[in-house]
Structure 1
Amino acid sequence: MGLITNILTEEFVSHTTDVAIIGGGVIGCSIAYQLSKKGIKSTVFEKNKLASGASGATAGIIGPIWYLDHTIKPYFDMGMRSLEIFPSFVEELKEAGIDPEFQQNGGMKIVLDEDTNTLLRDNLQWQKELGIGVRWIDKLELLEREPEITDRAEGGVFSPQDASIKGAAYTNSLAHASTRLGTTYLEGLEVTGLETHRDTVIGVKTQSGTFHANHTIIAAGAWSGISRRWFSSSIPIRPIKGQRIILRKQGFLPKCTVQSIVPQTDGSILSAATREEGVFNHTITGEAISQMVSAAKMIFPTLNDAEFVSAKAGVRPGSPDGMPILGPIPEWLGVSIASGHDHVGMICSPATAELVSEYVATGNTSGLEPFSITRFETGTSRRAKSLFTNEKYNR
């Protein structure tokens, strides 16, 4: 039995929706899209513009084998499931009218010193054991693939399945496609609280009044933690700021993602990203720009005279163990959360939307159990590791 049942009584007849989704980033819009395909109409509340937060400032790298801990199977499987369905998912969105700028050109991690050599070779072992189509490439092949790469590179690992996507375009394409199927998007409208009846959330409060809903999903990214004031239980979301830059070099564009250098569909080059724990602002800093320009020039020396195009910052939602928080909130009915993805929101968005929309439609929580907020109460969570946080790996 699904969650879209007769929670609302006849007194609540205006401003009603099947599902209220708080947050117009990639997670909220992905869930809205999957719900719309099931015939469930949502209203998405975004206090600014769609993709105005972390979703619009992402590097957009779709590479779960580098960014997810393979020893935590449900989490790793979520990333691999997303990678599997991304191509068909993207085709649906393109047919609906907006190109999300998805490129499946592969990705490379390169050897820069003995430490990265050991790290890459160790990881290649388990990647092959899992049947993932990655392979070692020597310096000759590396130079054939990327002639402008640094002389320091002695080889590396190539993953043909890796991809990239433009965060803002992807988020807006999800919104466009779901709008055609009945979803409503309300930009510039902040949710200020929840409407409750006893132990049930029956809608959201905004500056424009109350909107009643059969189910409410908190998918507000780093702002999801603010909702802790609405519940007796804690919502352990913490801010993690990230900055990225765009460069352009006439006549040069990498053929695939190398480290955190991502070719863009318009011919520009994205260099990412900083990681600033506990920082909750969108300020662009000179230090971060210098760091990312230096990283890009170190990998591709030809970028020494590249044009600086732009910089952007976003705040990602982190959780205590590095895994997303998905599913019901204890002691409350009619409400769930989908947040805490940190730097893998883009990577995991399709599978997250599958799991959450299935829960809303059927009430089945089995796929969400590893990501339940209750894991922090029982002490069963363990910290997810990511190669992304290894400076030697990404520099």
Structure 2
Amino acid sequence: MQWTTDVAIVGGGVIGCSIAYRLAKLGVKSSVFERDLFGGGASGATAGVIGPVWHVDPSMDAISTLGLRSLEIFKTLSSELKAAGVDPQFQQNGILKVATTPEQMKLLQDGLAWQGELGLDVQWLDRQEVVEKEPDIHPDILGGVFSPQEGSIHGQQYLNSLIHASALMGATFHERVEVIGLERQGDSIIGVKTNNDIVHAGHTVITAGPWTRNTDQWLGNSIPVRPVKGQRLLLKLQGFLPKTPVNNFLGYAIPQMDGNVLIASTREEELFDQNITAVGIRELLGKAESIFPCLKSATFVGGRAGVRPGSPDGIPIMGPIPGYNQLSVASGHDQIGVMLSTGSAELMADFIVSGKKTNLEAFDPSRFL
């Protein structure tokens, strides 16, 4: 069977679905193809931290700018998605980053200086102020920094809300449908071939996460994205829930709307499996107790694992793929894909519609291809 769509999106994680939503807002119909379940990978297993202030770094200006833009979009996007019918569970209750050593204190204080220069609302807290905010915090805490405009989102709910709202505007989503090739006409990509159909498209964008590198069989060269496995846990302790997500340089403890505490995360290079392991559980339980010792008495609710797409230089790979017309990529977001999803979708959708690489220069795939 053959059919037509405006834009074919290969990969149904948070980046692909965010682009579909942004395109739909611009009046462009897209079709998203996911070989597994929507949310079956890293997007469903994410910690959901929306904390770009901690990624504001003079040496990573592109990510800093994109992260802060993404945060601005989240503030209105969450209400849009909720109004459309599915609540993404965005909680803008701030993020608290704490230090337990003098070296960590210096890192926080140095960061506070240039974050303040950018006009970001970041507050220094001494030990007593940290304890007042989170009474059950680890006693070794020396101080911390609180960023009230940040927060977290529920990964699976966010993905579901994007799919639901986009579908209402005409996007189509195809689960357990694998793209097995590209349809070519000279140097132009005119669609995709799935395990069911041939789909003609005016533009094709590859958002396949760590599996993006497998497109070398279609393109003749490999987009250098590597797998980075991450595991996270859910714990529950009766009568206890942090007021805000807390990071202590080792991991995160993030309050959930259902009363659970999400603990994140491991980082395991070059692993494609999505299994929860005994080693991962032990590491995550250690992170939990290092933030809130009371969590050693918590009930184990469950765990998830996903595989993130890492890039060689730590910067996402987004934009047109050299040597081809009507073909682009958006991948390599590593562990900050959800955080950067809204800004990335804005950049990519604007490029797909206008053909102009406005603000995409730092992410250009040509730096590798």
TM bucket, shorter chain: over 0.9
**Matched residue of 2:59: which SS?**
coil
Q: CA deviation at 1:146?
A: 0.5
**Matched residue of 2:79: which SS?**
helix
Q: Which residue of 2 aligns with 1:363?
A: 355
Q: Aligned partner of 1:182: which letter?
A: G
Alignment of 1:238-253 (within 5 A): 238-253=226-241
- Distance (Å, rounded) in 2 between the aligned partners of 1:126 and 1:198: 49
Q: Which residue of 1 aligns with 2:300?
A: 308
**Matched residue of 1:71: which SS?**
helix
The answer to whether 1:270 aligns with 2:258 is no
1:74 to 56, 62, 69: 62
- Distance (Å, rounded) in 1 between the aligned partners of 2:2 and 2:334: 36
Q: Which residue of 1 aligns with 2:274?
A: 282
1:192 to 180, 200, 205: 180
Q: Aligned partner of 1:85: which letter?
A: I
- Percent identity, aligned pairs only? 51
Q: CA deviation at 1:69?
A: 3.5
Q: CA deviation at 1:169?
A: 0.5
1:179 to 167, 180, 183: 167
1:49 to 29, 37, 42: 37
Q: Which residue of 2 aligns with 1:296?
A: 288
Q: Which residue of 1 aligns with 2:79?
A: 91
Provide, for residues 59-97 of structure 1, a one-character-per-residue CA deviation record: whole Å limited to 9, x for no partner: 100001223544232221000000111010111100100
Q: How many residues align?
A: 365
Q: Which residue of 2 aligns with 1:110?
A: 98
- Distance (Å, rounded) in 1 between the aligned partners of 2:280 and 2:55: 21
Q: Which residue of 2 aligns with 1:157?
A: 145
8 A Cα contact 1:67 1:344, kept in partner: no
Q: CA deviation at 1:340?
A: 0.5
Cα RMSD, aligned residues only:
1.1
8 A Cα contact 2:9 2:33, kept in partner: yes
Q: Aligned partner of 1:315: which letter?
A: V
Q: Which residue of 2 aligns with 1:256?
A: 244
Q: Aligned partner of 1:338: which letter?
A: A
**Matched residue of 1:204: which SS?**
strand
- Distance (Å, rounded) in 1 between the aligned partners of 2:347 and 2:136: 42
- Distance (Å, rounded) in 1 between the aligned partners of 2:58 and 2:173: 36
The answer to whether 1:331 aligns with 2:319 is no
8 A Cα contact 2:189 2:324, kept in partner: yes
Q: Aligned partner of 2:107: which letter?
A: L
- Distance (Å, rounded) in 1 between the aligned partners of 2:160 and 2:54: 26
Q: Which runs of 5+ in 2 are unaligned?
A: none
The 10-residue stretch of structure 1 (363-372 or 251-260) with the greater mean CA deviation from structure 2: 363-372
Provide, for residues 145-191 of structure 1, a one-character-per-residue CA deviation record: whole Å limited to 9, x for no partner: 11111110121111111110011100110000000000000001011
- Distance (Å, rounded) in 1 between the aligned partners of 2:195 and 2:149: 45
Q: CA deviation at 1:332?
A: 0.4
1:170 to 136, 158, 182: 158
Alignment of 1:182-221 (within 5 A): 182-221=170-209
Q: CA deviation at 1:233?
A: 3.1
8 A Cα contact 2:347 2:358, kept in partner: no
1:235 to 204, 220, 223: 223
8 A Cα contact 2:214 2:222, kept in partner: no
TM, length-normalised to structure 1: 0.91
The answer to whether 1:32 aligns with 2:20 is yes
8 A Cα contact 2:50 2:153, kept in partner: yes
Q: Aligned partner of 1:348: which letter?
A: L
8 A Cα contact 1:224 1:235, kept in partner: yes
Q: Which residue of 2 aligns with 1:340?
A: 332
Q: Which residue of 2 aligns with 1:145?
A: 133
- Distance (Å, rounded) in 2 between the aligned partners of 1:74 and 1:115: 27
TM, length-normalised to structure 2: 0.97
8 A Cα contact 2:56 2:115, kept in partner: no
- Distance (Å, rounded) in 1 between the aligned partners of 2:63 and 2:131: 34
Q: Which residue of 2 aligns with 1:9?
A: none
- Distance (Å, rounded) in 2 between the aligned partners of 1:289 and 1:42: 39
8 A Cα contact 2:2 2:198, kept in partner: no
**Matched residue of 1:15: which SS?**
strand
